[in-house]
Amino acid sequence: MALTRVLARAVPEVFVERAEITYAPLAKAYFIIVYPSHVKYWLRFHKKYPHYKRIALRYGVSEHNISGCCPEFFNKADLVNWLVDVLSLSRGERKLLRLCMRT
pLDDT tens digits for range 24-48: 999 899 999 999 999 999 999 999 9
Q: What's the pLDDT at 64?
A: 79
Q: What's the pLDDT at 1?
A: 77
**Average pLDDT across the chain, whole number:** 92
Percent over 90 (pLDDT), the chain: 79
Which among 92, 76, 7 has a CA at the least distance from the CA of 44?
7
* 27 close to 75: Cβ distance less than 8 angstroms: no
Q: If pLDDT is split at 50, 70 and 90, which confidence band does 67 have?
A: confident
Mean pLDDT calculated for residue range 55-67: 88
Q: Three-state SS for 45?
A: helix
